[in-house]
Structure 1
């Protein structure tokens, strides 16, 4: 009887469980890599003669998870196998791989008491018997030590980030587009970025810019071609304006972790574009009313630019019904309910001719204003002061000088001030973004609707000069287009 019992205990059915915790860059996980964990656990099972019924690995589970957060699906699978009687032992490289927090350990104690599961670690002598007071004490001491090591690692990581923020030096894992790793400009890419900011603010599509970069061989640092989405992401990077950021993973109330990035001040590298231009582009690309055109090439010159005078919806390009000769022609149609339609070619011609008439006036206007430049300097100083107040509040809260309510109120005021300041900076920058109207007439004469670059340029000029273009009702039975069917409000140059 005794021999049979001994034999049964020696032939346990084991689950190998490996978990890899996230660590700061350059540090090795305490648990080693997953392959090492599995190999060491397998060796232990081989020495003891245990059969392995499952190998379960888990990546990137934080050891600092708060109490009440559910364990991962992988660990729940381990528990299910044990509770269903399909496994008698859990084997890991170290015991701390089986629990992340002291609260996780108490759940493991409950599992051991309910099922009698054996816990074994390749880097420990013997098994962990949670059915005895001394075994539970040893496990709890180990959990507290592991928790302390996690907290110290997090503290080192936070201090490291703080030193980098204070130094203002670039800390980029890969070379960003427009820069070298040390913060110097890669001039061809930097100039392309400067032009892209001006073009986007003037109305050129991201698709057209991406197409141009790909044609010129300006690929991403990873050697990939550009499209609207990755170009948009690059243009929205604060580093292009010399602004330093700090990113960290934060846990939401539902247990999900999201990456949050916040600006921490000026970096010590030279900006590619001014902060005002950057703020203007962020606001422009974030505008929910902006007509993105689906990220592809333009199909019509004034689609999304002209509005219906009745419902204020933008017009889109369409095609007329076939006439007696079986022919159709391009039309613009109100997207809000077909309130108004209009032949496209005469409307395009009318609007562009009106813009050409204003070309001389616009080209003669000054591109910058001394008062605007002085105001921009003041705004940048105000922004720096508001950011410093925000940082000071966080430091006061950490030191215990103010409570959480005071912190929230102060941070809210600082954020409101920053939003207002950055909006005004964006306005000033947008006013300075200008296009050359000198070649408009030539471009119009040679306009090719199969070439989106030509459409984009003329469209950019129209949006620069015209504040509003509205399509007026033509009256019942009127099919031809007249100048009175279009109302244009010009911008002040």
Structure 2
């Protein structure tokens, strides 16, 4: 055994869908047979399973560890290493740069050996190294061609509206074409609730209570529900690389499956997710962007109330108030955070009274006249969108007939596509605003305070209405010795209304 040349074995599989490592196991057997045939002895095996050698950014831990061993000439335990054996060079490398690094490592010392299943190769020969580099380049080119063929195949199927492969999507039956009546109804209701301002967590909690699970048997979470509602499959469309698949005329391709909601509804939900942003008052008193709020809150005004106690320099604290537990109170208390948490810790206010005052202020404004007139009239940009889509379609037809130059065509296409994208986004926002207004203005006082009605508003929906009404509510101190925790003075609440 001591006379045999000590070498390492390397095996790699680009994909292991069965998760049984059968490919790398088979390669390991072949490598042992090759080593025995050549009078070599494998002292260690390096493996990269389910890892591509062609993709950018993929780190092959086994390959990198092998290079370190080849440079050192020894394993970490001191065992001598004098070469490497693989099944084929494309299992070793797919990129010219990796091939160069491998050759540099194995030839860093004289007398090293290398072989694949066909036999040994002299890597010290310039001709062999050049052939190896050329093989890596050709292998890389073949990988790119395969990817392009696969991409074209997927796009062609998508343009024909063919149902994609994969797991059954939630909302459809096993044929992935026909709607599941219970699941599709739940999705349809969730869409309406999102448009009405309900939070994702609140909807998920309801689904969990009903015993719904994903098609893979997992519990629903807010993120998985959001991914479901982001999928254009709901309205019969499909995305590839982040873009809706369209036909030559620029019209979204309708898939060969039943849609759960209308395209306008799906676009409105996307507008909610993309643009559920208003303004908020920051700690410095400046009005800035309002972050999206998808949490299921317990209290009505957390994150909306701000501390109005003056600091030593005359500016207001402006820290967000939060609810703190008090054993001697039968109601919740909004209080400023401590100094170590960015507040002043010197202001608190009775929560139930503040909630009631702010609620009544919002309801009174809605009942007297909406904060901003709900856009129930038809969207004003419909004709502009239709004209732009018609122009793009006619321009494309002229270009195919070679009646328009390439330079003019691509310049105009870029302009028209940008305009169409802007108008579609405006249409979605209009749809979302219209549905929100209709949902929230229907008998809102009863729905606001009801605890039993099916159409009652939950905390997340009330917060959505309040966030659209105010930038913030600043709570000013009531004065020393007045017991601010139990005192309520409506004049000490400053409502920062939205003017837009």
Match of 2:357 in 1: 350
Gaps of 5+ in 2: 75-80, 247-251, 279-288, 310-315
Q: What SS does the corresponding residue of 1:34 show, helix, strand or coil?
A: helix
8 Å Cα contact 2:208/2:219 also seen in 1: yes
Q: What SS does the corresponding residue of 1:177 show, helix, strand or coil?
A: coil
Match of 1:20 in 2: 13
Deviates more, 1:133-142 or 1:164-173: 133-142
Residue 290 of structure 1 and its aligned partner are, at CA, apart by: 3.2
**Is 2:244 the counterpart of 1:239?**
no
Tell me the distance in 1 between the aligned counterparts of 2:394 and 2:172: 27
Q: What SS does the corresponding residue of 2:62 show, helix, strand or coil?
A: helix
Tell me the distance in 2 between the aligned counterparts of 1:461 and 1:291: 10
* 1:264 corresponds to which of 245, 261, 276: 245
Q: TM-score, normalised by structure 1?
A: 0.71
What pairs with 1:190-205 in structure 2 (closer than 5 Å)? 190-205=184-199
Match of 1:481 in 2: 488
Tell me the distance in 1 between the aligned counterparts of 2:290 and 2:178: 36
Match of 1:290 in 2: 291
Tell me the distance in 1 between the aligned counterparts of 2:222 and 2:192: 16
Structure showing the higher helix proportion among its residues: 1
Match of 1:456 in 2: 459
* 2:268 corresponds to which of 277, 282, 288: 277
Q: Quickly say closer, same or farther: Cα 1:355–1:155, change in 2 above 3 A.
A: closer
Match of 1:418 in 2: 421
RMSD: 4.8
Tell me the distance in 1 between the aligned counterparts of 2:388 and 2:306: 38
Residue 213 of structure 1 and its aligned partner are, at CA, apart by: 0.3
Residue 56 of structure 1 and its aligned partner are, at CA, apart by: 0.9
What pairs with 1:100-115 in structure 2 (closer than 5 Å)? 100-115=94-109
8 Å Cα contact 2:99/2:133 also seen in 1: yes
Q: Deviations over 1:139-167 (max 9, x none)?
A: 45544543443233123112213313422
* 1:187 corresponds to which of 178, 181, 191: 181
Q: Quickly say closer, same or farther: Cα 1:285–1:468, change in 2 above 3 A.
A: closer
Q: Deviations over 1:221-252 (max 9, x none)?
A: 111111222222322333334442113xxxxx
Deviates more, 1:130-139 or 1:423-432: 130-139
Residue 210 of structure 1 and its aligned partner are, at CA, apart by: 0.7
Q: What SS does the corresponding residue of 2:64 show, helix, strand or coil?
A: helix
Match of 2:155 in 1: 162
**Is 2:376 the counterpart of 1:369?**
yes
Tell me the distance in 2 between the aligned counterparts of 1:264 and 1:16: 46
Q: What SS does the corresponding residue of 2:297 show, helix, strand or coil?
A: coil
Aligned pairs, number: 444
Residue 386 of structure 1 and its aligned partner are, at CA, apart by: 7.4
Match of 1:250 in 2: none
Match of 2:299 in 1: 300
8 Å Cα contact 1:306/1:468 also seen in 2: no
Match of 2:312 in 1: none
Q: Deviations over 1:85-144 (max 9, x none)?
A: 23222111112222213443344444444333222222x1x2112233554465455445
Tell me the distance in 2 between the aligned counterparts of 1:346 and 1:387: 59
What pairs with 1:438-453 in structure 2 (closer than 5 Å)? 438=443, 440-441=445-446, 444=449, 446=451
Match of 2:283 in 1: none
Q: Quickly say closer, same or farther: Cα 1:426–1:11, change in 2 above 3 A.
A: same
Tell me the distance in 1 between the aligned counterparts of 2:9 and 2:104: 20
Residue 353 of structure 1 and its aligned partner are, at CA, apart by: 4.4
Tell me the distance in 1 between the aligned counterparts of 2:317 and 2:235: 36
Match of 2:24 in 1: 34
Tell me the distance in 1 between the aligned counterparts of 2:461 and 2:431: 24
Residue 194 of structure 1 and its aligned partner are, at CA, apart by: 2.7
* 1:470 corresponds to which of 461, 473, 484: 473
8 Å Cα contact 1:291/1:304 also seen in 2: no
8 Å Cα contact 2:307/2:321 also seen in 1: no
8 Å Cα contact 1:194/1:272 also seen in 2: yes
Q: Quickly say closer, same or farther: Cα 1:217–1:342, change in 2 above 3 A.
A: same
8 Å Cα contact 1:45/1:52 also seen in 2: yes
* 1:220 corresponds to which of 214, 219, 242: 214
Q: Quickly say closer, same or farther: Cα 1:474–1:111, change in 2 above 3 A.
A: closer
8 Å Cα contact 2:276/2:292 also seen in 1: no
8 Å Cα contact 2:305/2:320 also seen in 1: yes
Match of 1:56 in 2: 46
